[in-house]
A = this chain, B = another copy of it.
Amino acid sequence: MMEAKKIVLLLVCLNVVSSPVIASPPTCAANLDSQCADSDYWEGEFFPGIPKIKYEGPSSKNPLAYKWYNAEEVILGKKMKDWMRFSVAFWHTFRGTGADPFGAPTKSWPWEDGTNSLAMAKRRMRANFEFINKLGVDRWCFHDRDIAPDGKTLKETNANLDEVVTLAKELQGSKIRPLWGTAQLFLHPRYMHGGATSSEVGVYAYAAAQVKKAIEVTHYLGGENYVFWGGREGYQSLLNTDMGRELDHLARFLEAAVAYKKKIGFNGTLLIEPKPQEPTKHQYDWDAATTANFLRKYGLINEFKLNIECNHATLSGHSCHHDLETARINGLLGNIDANTGDPQVGWDTDQFMTDIGEATMVMLSVIKNGGLAPGGFNFDAKLRRESTDVEDLFIAHIAGMDTLARGLRNAAKLIEDGSLAELVRKRYQSFDSEIGAQIEAGKADFELLEKKAMEWGEPKVPSAKQELAEMIFQSAL
- List 14 A–B pairs whose Cβ atoms lie within 8 Å, in order of A's numbering: A67-B475, A103-B186, A105-B189, A205-B449, A212-B450, A252-B444, A281-B344, A297-B330, A356-B477, A387-B466, A392-B468, A395-B468, A395-B471, A399-B471
Which A residues, 414 to 444, have Cβ-Cβ distances below 8 Å to chain B? 419-420, 423-424, 426-428, 430-431, 433, 435-436, 439-440, 442, 444
Most buried by B among A2, A321, A454: A2
B-facing mask of A149-164, CB < 8 A → 1, else 0? 1100111000000000
Choose among B17, B95, B201, B428 the residue that contacts A462 (Cβ–Cβ < 8 A).
B17
Taking a contact as CB atoms under 8 Å apart, the answer to whether A189 and B106 are in contact is yes
Instruction: Using CB atoms, name the residue of chain B closest to A255.
Output: B442
The 8 A CB mask of A1-15 against B (1 = contact, 0 = none) is 111111111010011
Q: Out of B287, B342, B440, which one reaches A248, CB within 8 Å?
A: B440
Are B392 and A189 within 8 A (Cβ)?
no
Please tell me if the beta carbons of A209 and B279 are within 8 angstroms of each other in the complex: no
For the complex of A and B, the 7 pairs showing the least CB-CB separation, nearest first, are A346-B346, A18-B462, A202-B459, A208-B449, A386-B464, A293-B293, A4-B4
Query: Is the C-beta of A269 less than 8 angstroms from some C-beta in chain B?
Result: no
This chain: copies in complex = 4
Distance in angstroms between the alpha carbons of A119 and B92 in the assembled complex: 36
With A2-B187, A243-B325, A439-B249 as known contacts, state yes or no: A467 contacts B293, CB within 8 Å: no
Min distance, Cβ A205 to any Cβ of chain B, angstroms: 4
- Quick check: A424 and B466 within 8 Å, CB to CB? no
* B424 adjacent to A241 (CB under 8 Å): yes
